[in-house]
Amino acid sequence: MEKRKAVISVSDKAGVTEFSKELHNLGWEIISSRGTAKAISEAGIPVTDVAKITGIPPILKHKLVTINPKISGGLLSDTTPEDLADLAEYGIPWLDMVVVDLYHLEEEIKKPGSNLKSVIEQIDIGGVLLLRAAAKGMRITIPQRADYQLILDWLKAGEPERDKFLRSQAAKTFFITAKYDLAAARYLGEGMYDGMIGRKVADCAYGENKYQKPAAVFTTDTGDPLSIPDTFKLVQGMAPSFNNYVDMDRLLQTLTHIVTTFVTNRGRNSIPYIAIAVKHGNACGAAVGWSTGLVLQKMIIGDLDAIFGGLVVTNFGIGEEEAEILLHWNLREGETRRNLDGLIAPRFAPGVAELLKRKGDKCRLLENDWLWHLRHKDGDLDTSLRFRQIRGGFLKQPNYSFILDLRDPELVYIGTMDTQTDTLMLVTSIADTSNSNTITLGRKEDDISYLIANAVSQQSRVAACKLAKLRAQMGNHDTKDSVGRSDSFFPQDDGPKELAEMGVKAILTTSGSINDEKVLAMFKRYGVKVLMIPDAKGRGFFGH
């Protein structure tokens, strides 16, 4: 019986000799060229040079090696008499497997100093052809080193569910080549072409509503240590829902903005304990300070109604003391425990999962140790592009990246900020990651800065101001001497009057209204301190 044949051509040689040896021991013939053939041969494994099959040595400075009908034909042919006759007539061998990793195109694009010539040099043609031909021909495709053991185990097990397995590998192969082609199109097109491509990691029970089925979460394999589909480990509870994933994304936006703002203004050793609760995509409770217990307590009282069924994130571990506060501190009348939809933390102490467990496993506990290590210059602020679907297409924009720098030369101070800068940094981070229009208010007590009102998604600035007052009143919060953030300028002085009469002590807003002088006059009349930055730089619209 003729040996099965595998074409192996990889730039990353790690593991290839071990894989080739196993393949050889299973009775396979290995076909390769140049560097890969040398590595395999030096390991004492027989290898056939691809030129022996094609009859043509590598040409065009090794650009043309495997692009040949005797290789492509051996992958695309099927078992029909016509195809088999063509193989026999032209001396084309039947090929059973392709092992290829593509040139490092995306890495080259990201390299400082890369240019058109260096990028084009890394656009793989032969590798893509081999993979696509093998996938179309339903051969065994190995498009990444991570699949070596998977394929060996499958071969040794007798190739169970062969058709299904080959189809799965073919789909993975086309996914990888599609990502590769998209990277080339993006670079060469200079903004003309773009898209998003992902790999499913989990199904969701449904989408935003129960009738929206099927729904799933996909990863784009960025390697980000805060990648939601990849790096958060579920330690208890049912799988996150579609809406949980959306809220997690918002929590991470708010958390990393808080961290980055503190690092920008105070340095890396200044990052306090942080706790944030989110409901329907917007922070309903948040606090920063140097006591985990007090931070949790102040976060909870942000909005006792909204936190019910909410999702919480912390940058500190959760032990029994913290769990007890989350469950039982300052309960509403008639409650025996506080029901949360989920809690995200760097880790949970032994026994805590059982304490927080809800009937039906409805409280999800998710761990990610990286939450301990959030630091601005390490890339924790999300700088990836943001896409938004519209009917018939999509929108693309840079991510939300405005960070309040209290030393910014364009930041104008009307009055002097003194003890409330921590609170200002907190409310600015929250407002800038909440649905606009937004007015956000905070206070400082017991050395803890915390949220007292997040008036989001209003269609007028004055309505947001009135809502901020209402939300603070509903939470029994004293607005006297509070600090606020308006995510854009005030078009009239009616909103400022509302805030001033609440007792707001200081506010960050933007300049750009034709009524800026009128607005400032209103704040000055009530003794409100104002920080103002140009709207083009500091506008905080989010999720508009």
- Segment 208-234 shows an average pLDDT of 95
pLDDT value for 1: 55
pLDDT value for 243: 96
Known catalytic residue at 104: no
Known catalytic residue at 280: yes
CA trace torsion 143, 148, 151, 155 (10° rounding):
140
Six-digit token string for 515: 């009524």
pLDDT value for 441: 98
User: pLDDT confidence of 500, banded at 50, 70, 90?
Assistant: very high
For the chain, domains (ranges, CATH) are 5-189 (3.40.50.1380), 234-378 (3.40.140.20), 402-538 (3.40.140.20)
Q: How far apart are CA 533 and CA 283, in angstroms?
A: 24
- Segment 111-117 shows an average pLDDT of 92
Residue 397 falls in which region: left (phi positive, over 0), alpha (psi -120 to 50) or beta? beta
pLDDT value for 379: 60
pLDDT of residue 166 exceeding 70: yes
Could you report the per-residue pLDDT of 382-406, keeping only the tens digit for each?
999 999 999 999 999 999 999 999 9
Q: Shortest CA distance to 433 belongs to which of 267, 261, 297, 270?
A: 261
pLDDT value for 86: 83
Q: How far apart are CA 65 and CA 114, in angstroms?
A: 26
Of the candidates 21, 104, 280, 518, the residue annotated as catalytic is 280
Q: How far apart are CA 223 and CA 491, in angstroms?
A: 43
The residue ranking higher by pLDDT, 65 or 272, is: 272
Could you report the per-residue pLDDT of 119-151, keeping only the tens digit for each?
998 888 888 999 999 999 999 999 999 999 999
- Segment 310-330 shows an average pLDDT of 97
Residue ranges with strand state E in 123-232:
140-142, 199-204, 215-219
Contacts of 5 (CB under 8 A, 6+ apart): 28, 29, 30, 31, 74, 93, 94, 95, 96, 97
Task: Please state, rounded to an integer, the average pLDDT across all residues of the chain.
Answer: 93
Q: Shortest CA distance to 314 belongs to which of 336, 340, 332?
A: 340
Could you report the per-residue pLDDT of 19-31, keeping only the tens digit for each?
999 999 999 999 9
Contacts of 483 (CB under 8 A, 6+ apart): 420, 423, 424, 427, 441, 442, 443, 444, 504, 505, 506, 507
Six-digit token string for 334: 């008639």
β-pair partners for 273: 289
pLDDT of residue 198 exceeding 80: yes
Lowest mean pLDDT among 196-205, 222-231, 373-382: 373-382
pLDDT value for 377: 61
pLDDT value for 374: 82
pLDDT of residue 284 exceeding 90: yes
- Segment 488-510 shows an average pLDDT of 97
Lowest mean pLDDT among 19-28, 62-71, 467-476, 503-512: 62-71
The residue ranking higher by pLDDT, 198 or 103, is: 198
Could you report the per-residue pLDDT of 332-379, keeping only the tens digit for each?
888 999 999 999 999 999 999 999 999 888 999 999 999 998 866 666
Of the candidates 13, 21, 104, 136, the residue annotated as catalytic is 136
Amino acid at 219: T
C-beta of residue 345 within 8 angstroms of C-beta of residue 251 = no
Could you report the per-residue pLDDT of 232-278, keeping only the tens digit for each?
999 999 999 999 999 999 999 999 999 999 999 998 888 999 999 99
The residue ranking higher by pLDDT, 55 or 432, is: 432
